[in-house]
Chain A
Amino acid sequence: MRILIAEDEPISRRLLAAALKKMGHDVVGAENGRAAWETLQREDIRLVIADWEMPEMTGLELVRKLREEAADRYIYAILLTSRGLKQDIVLGLEAGADDYVTKPFDRDELMVRIKAGERVTRLEAELAERNEQLRRMALVDGLTGIANRRSFDEDFSRQREHAKRFSRAFSVVMIDIDHFKLYNDSLGHEAGDGALRAVAQLLAGALRVSDKVYRYGGEEFVCILPETDAQGAVVVAERLRGAIEGAKIPHAGNKPSGVVTISVGVASHGADAAAGDEELLSRADQALYVAKSGGRNRVAAWSAESPVRS
């Protein structure tokens, strides 16, 4: 593995480097704690051996800084000390060091301590990977495989901040499958799940690369269309509607077409819109209501004249 040696004294540094290289490690050297810290900002290094006494920044200060500021990854830290005093060791470990080696170091001892460090860093890397997997899973809808409500909430607030800060337009599109309850009642929940999956895939396929569709809940979906004004959003929404209708998924209860269709509500945050973005979702919802009450299988864009859904 890649190991950083922070040691001001050149002979000790070279001896350490030679010993570590012999063990098959890749070694990076730094002349003091400050230089070591800078190297750690640039490079993905998970194990550091730091001398206690160094100019600019001591090993103890480096370890403290690692624990306070390098929270994105775990860096295993071994302090190198010529002081074998118990209170120093306690101080070092308290500051956040994982282990210590007394100088002049013994090669065999160093080897087993490095091995212990490798074990810890490997476990930590596995754990971080699992956590990342879980985090990704937490943002995915289990049934349809597209992004879920939680993911939408995160992206929506980010998009809103971005739009506000840079005065950019963006739109949200609220989608509801027409008479989905009838579909479930007549064909069963398993078929209903299949229809949800199919609709999710069709919607995802009909969007542009920068757009994203989320399962909002039940038979509702929502899309975020960055950098898209109301006019553009209606075009996209119409394409979504057409894609679902065109797939001709049988749905006898949905008159008059007899296939699965969606109603779509569009609301936009204009580049010049100062207020109203908090209401964007409820506006999309109101537009969806307009589309529904207007006969379904259609797109409606929010306007100030839209009736408020009670």
Chain B
Amino acid sequence: MAITPKLMTAAELADLPDDGMRYELARGVLLTMAPPFDEHGRLADRIGRSLDHYVDARQLGEVRRAGVGYLLTSRPDTVREPDLAFVSMAHREALGQYRGYFPGSPDLVVEVVSTNDRLTRVAAKVAEWLEHGAKLVFVVNPRCKIVDVHRPGQPTRTLGLDDTLNGEDVVPGWSMPVRDLFDQE
């Protein structure tokens, strides 16, 4: 006899007690992720701080840290959490009031890859962000010191230490040398 697991909803996810683990919901299935190492958070935060300055001065939108969930599908529910996100002012205003998790994807998503992350899972997550409205996804790979830049329907560019991250039309005018991201220790 096949056993159908009971699917969890976004509301039930939000109600889980805080036990120090990170959770996501993939089509109703709870995924548990160990808290990342120090370096992981530091890399996301470097991009975050650079974006903060730029975005705040120009009132372009909101830079959001990890710990915030995004509701990508309903029934069954998918709630994902990026390491860093940016939501443009226009996007935020168009949404108006909402309750619970942010509906849909942020405009810019940053994911920092940990040593244990499986490629298929990262690739599926990136595809999911793009499918649900992300315009720009940075996948930061600390081991190879590269950043993969994904855009919907476009080839993926791989940036090395001599290249520059660029906000393109999502955070117009913002840029950050890849070297500044990795070489600050």
Do A and B actually bind?
Answer: no
